[in-house]
């Protein structure tokens, strides 16, 4: 009996030990497999991050190597009407046939135009409207009509020159791409791109760049136009939306005609606004990029902030001075409010600074003092003016900080009494 007890105790002990060993081994194996998986994931992540950084360094290097100073000659390789012909796209090839630097989607080109009957060249900026290519750039330009309340005035000089005079084969002077409004294509953050009218150009460049890079990042593209007659790049946008599941297109017509079909031509009747975004987006957790007419920009800026979108996720480009003026706050609001005197020495005029006006450029223009300007956003350098005495402060970040002794008047305000060589 005792033997039987001993044998069964031995069997139980052996079996329990075997089970323990099996469980222990299994757990160990599971733990090491887990570890291997984790480190594999970590290694993959590290590899992806390294590849990202390398790609960034490489494109930064290419940008620096292939970029140019001053103006370079470009030939119009193609001129193509968009929508009703109120916008024309210009495909520009470098006259020297050398490869082009990879610009950042959202940036713009600065043109120096020699208009017939004008002695001084005209400087204007136009956003690149396609993704970066090595052999051509594209800009899409809307012909600016006279103001509604002054139809007797001539239409926009540069935009009319592009539409009415420039043709395939013509040569243009162009500065290298620049600008701070661009998309970082090396990250995968979900984005909302919003264009109003011809303000679609920089955000279209961003969209095309995302699609061309085969990125699967979530993209919402809102476009506000009046109706299908004025709807630029319609087929292109529709085909991108069909082919890319990560792209959500929302075309808004503020004034649809009877031929416009909701669901086919457009997705929303009305303006682009944050109420619409609240209906369509899962949350406000996106990076927002927008460009359009001043009322749309101001409304979006206010509404996005009210929705709780942090400032650093709100990015915009202004095509005109009014928008820059209203949206940009001085960096140190107190200092720009003091009573300074601005003296324009060449014009022999001394005036008390009015902080309501915006920038020194706007202030000079209000005084009837003409200072050449281009982008009015501190990037093209056209409004660089010598400071004879005093100091300025910047109300935004210039593309390149000017040397001491001069300032970009489009983006600065006085910090003391000031004498400018203008
Ligand atoms: C960074 C940036 C990117 C841009 N990208 C684009 C883009 O992609 N596509 C695009 O189409 N535009 C773009 N623009 C706008 C573009 O640079 C020009 O501002 C636009 O084409 C108008 O220039 P213009 O010379 O044709 O008009 P201007 O000659 O400057 O005239 C502007 C307006 O003033 C009116 N006017 C004429 N004479 C008078 C007068 N005596 N008094 C009062 N008003 C008068 C004109 O009728 C017109 O309505 C961009 C601007 C910036 C800053």
pLDDT at 1 > cutoff 60: no
From the CA of 144, how far away is ligand 1's center (Å)? Answer: 6
What does 255-324 look like in DSSP terms, one character per residue? S--TT--BTTTBSEES---HHHHHHHSS-S-SEEEEE--HHHHHHHHHHHHHTT--GGGEEEE-SSHHHH
Query: What DSSP designation does 223 have?
Result: E
Q: How far apart are CA 414 and CA 389, in angstroms?
A: 11
Within 6 A (CB) of ligand 1 lie: 108, 124-127, 139-142, 144, 146-147, 153-159, 198, 201, 317, 319, 375-377
From the CA of 411, how far away is ligand 1's center (Å)? Answer: 18
User: How much of the chain exceeds pLDDT 90, in percent?
Assistant: 68
Confidence (pLDDT) at 202: 98
Confidence (pLDDT) at 323: 42
Q: Choose one of 92, 144, 180, 408 to mutate for the ligand 1 pocket test, by most ligand atoms within 8 angstroms of C-beta.
A: 144
Which residues in 288-305 are b (16+ Cβ under 10 Å) and which e? bbbbbbbebbeebbeebe
From the CA of 125, how far away is ligand 1's center (Å)? Answer: 9
Confidence (pLDDT) at 328: 45
- Range with lowest mean pLDDT among 131-140, 143-152, 373-382: 373-382
The residue contributing the CA closest to ligand 1 atom 22 is: 156
| Extents of the domains making up the chain | 71-146+154-175, 191-319, 335-420
Confidence (pLDDT) at 153: 94
Tokens for 57?
A: 């360094």
Mean pLDDT, residues 137-155: 95
Confidence label for 262 from pLDDT (cuts 50, 70 and 90): very high
pLDDT at 6 > cutoff 80: no
Confidence label for 325 from pLDDT (cuts 50, 70 and 90): very low
Confidence (pLDDT) at 60: 77
User: How much of the chain exceeds pLDDT 70, in percent?
Assistant: 83
Which CATH architecture does the domain made up of 191-319 adopt? 3-Layer(aba) Sandwich (3.40)
Tokens for 54?
A: 């390398």
What does 357-389 look like in DSSP terms, one character per residue? G-SHHHHHHHTT-----SSSSSSS-TTEEEEEE
Confidence label for 63 from pLDDT (cuts 50, 70 and 90): confident
From the CA of 126, how far away is ligand 1's center (Å)? Answer: 10
Confidence (pLDDT) at 355: 87
Confidence (pLDDT) at 59: 73
Q: Which atom of ligand 1 is nearest to the CA of 128?
A: 8
From the CA of 159, how far away is ligand 1's center (Å)? Answer: 7
Q: Which atom of ligand 1 is nearest to the CA of 158?
A: 25
From the CA of 95, how far away is ligand 1's center (Å)? Answer: 26
- Range with lowest mean pLDDT among 24-28, 89-93, 155-159: 24-28
Q: Which atom of ligand 1 is nearest to the CA of 202?
A: 8
160-189 pLDDT, tens digit each:
999 999 999 999 999 999 888 999 999 999
Torsion-angle region of 117 (φ positive above 0: left; ψ -120 to 50: alpha; else: beta): left
Q: How far apart are CA 307 and CA 310, in angstroms?
A: 9
Q: Choose one of 124, 198, 318, 322 to mutate for the ligand 1 pocket test, by most ligand atoms within 8 angstroms of C-beta.
A: 124
Confidence (pLDDT) at 188: 94
The residue contributing the CA closest to ligand 1 atom 7 is: 126
337-390 pLDDT, tens digit each:
568 999 999 999 999 999 888 899 999 999 999 898 888 878 788 899 999 999
The CATH number that domain 335-420 falls under is 3.10.20.30
Question: Nearest Cα to 413, choosing from 349, 311, 321, 325?
Answer: 325
From the CA of 31, how far away is ligand 1's center (Å)? Answer: 66
Mean pLDDT, residues 395-413: 89
Same fold, 71-146+154-175 and 335-420: no
Confidence (pLDDT) at 211: 97
Q: How far apart are CA 174 and CA 76, in angstroms?
A: 12
Question: How buried is 13 (Cβ within 10 angstroms: 0-12 exposed, 13-18 middle, 19+ buried)?
Answer: exposed
Confidence (pLDDT) at 61: 78
- Residue bearing the bigger pLDDT, 334 or 36: 36
Confidence (pLDDT) at 105: 97
pLDDT at 145 > cutoff 90: yes
Confidence (pLDDT) at 331: 45
Confidence (pLDDT) at 356: 86
From the CA of 189, how far away is ligand 1's center (Å)? Answer: 33
State the average pLDDT for the chain.
88
Angstrom distances, CA of residue 190 to CA of 213, 248, 281, 366: 15, 11, 11, 42
Q: Which atom of ligand 1 is nearest to the CA of 126?
A: 5
The residue contributing the CA closest to ligand 1 atom 4 is: 126
Q: How far apart are CA 360 and CA 342, in angstroms?
A: 9
Confidence label for 396 from pLDDT (cuts 50, 70 and 90): confident
Confidence (pLDDT) at 324: 39
Q: Which atom of ligand 1 is nearest to the CA of 159?
A: 26
From the CA of 115, how far away is ligand 1's center (Å)? Answer: 15
Confidence label for 327 from pLDDT (cuts 50, 70 and 90): very low
From the CA of 155, how far away is ligand 1's center (Å)? Answer: 9
Confidence (pLDDT) at 28: 64
Strand partners, 262: 266
Confidence label for 401 from pLDDT (cuts 50, 70 and 90): confident
Contact 345, 420 (CB under 8 A): yes
Q: Which atom of ligand 1 is nearest to the CA of 139?
A: 8
The residue contributing the CA closest to ligand 1 atom 40 is: 153
CATH class of segment(s) 71-146+154-175: mainly beta
The DSSP element (H or E) to which 247 belongs, if any, is strand 247-253
Q: Choose one of 155, 181, 319 to mutate for the ligand 1 pocket test, by most ligand atoms within 8 angstroms of C-beta.
A: 319
366-379 pLDDT, tens digit each:
999 989 888 887 87
């Amino acid at each position: 009996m005792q033997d039987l007890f001993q044998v069964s105790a031995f069997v139980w002990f052996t079996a329990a030990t075997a089970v323990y060993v099996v469980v222990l081994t299994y757990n160990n194996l599971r733990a090491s497999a887990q570890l291997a998986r984790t480190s594999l994931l970590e290694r993959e992540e590290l590899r992806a991050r390294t590849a990202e950084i390398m790609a960034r360094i490489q494109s930064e290097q290419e940008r620096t190597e292939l970029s140019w100073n001053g103006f370079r000659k470009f030939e119009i390789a193609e001129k193509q009407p968009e929508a009703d012909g109120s916008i024309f796209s210009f495909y520009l090839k470098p006259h020297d046939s050398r490869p082009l630097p990879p610009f950042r989607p959202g940036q713009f080109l600065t043109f120096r135009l020699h208009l017939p009957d004008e002695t001084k060249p005209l400087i204007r900026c136009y956003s690149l409207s396609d993704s970066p290519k090595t052999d051509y750039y594209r800009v899409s330009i809307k012909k600016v009509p006279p103001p509604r309340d002054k139809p007797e005035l001539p239409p926009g000089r540069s935009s009319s020159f592009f539409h009415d005079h420039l043709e395939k084969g013509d040569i243009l002077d162009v500065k290298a791409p620049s600008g701070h409004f661009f998309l970082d294509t090396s990250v995968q953050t979900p984005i909302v791109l919003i264009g109003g009218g011809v303000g679609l150009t920089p955000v279209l460049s961003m969209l095309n760049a995302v699609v061309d890079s085969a990125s699967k990042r979530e993209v919402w593209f809102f476009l506000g136009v009046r109706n299908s007659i004025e709807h630029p790049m319609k087929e292109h946008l529709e085909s991108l939306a069909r082919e890319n599941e990560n792209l959500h297109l929302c075309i808004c017509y503020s004034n649809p005609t009877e031929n416009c079909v909701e669901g086919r031509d457009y997705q929303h009747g009305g303006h682009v606004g944050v109420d619409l975004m609240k209906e369509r987006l899962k949350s406000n957790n996106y990076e927002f990029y927008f460009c359009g007419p001043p009322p749309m920009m101001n409304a979006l800026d206010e509404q996005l902030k009210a929705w709780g979108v942090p400032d650093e996720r709100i990015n915009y480009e202004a095509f005109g001075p009014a928008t820059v003026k209203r949206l940009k706050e001085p960096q140190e609001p107190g200092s720009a409010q003091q009573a300074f005197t601005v003296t324009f020495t060449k014009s022999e005029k001394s005036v008390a600074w009015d902080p309501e006006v915006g920038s020194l450029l706007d202030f000079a223009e209000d005084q009837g003092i003409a200072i050449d300007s281009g982008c009015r956003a501190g990037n093209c350098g056209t409004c660089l003016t010598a400071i004879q005495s005093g100091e300025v402060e910047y109300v935004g970040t210039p593309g390149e900080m000017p040397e001491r002794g001069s300032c970009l008047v489009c983006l600065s305000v006085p910090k003391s009494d000031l004498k400018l060589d203008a």
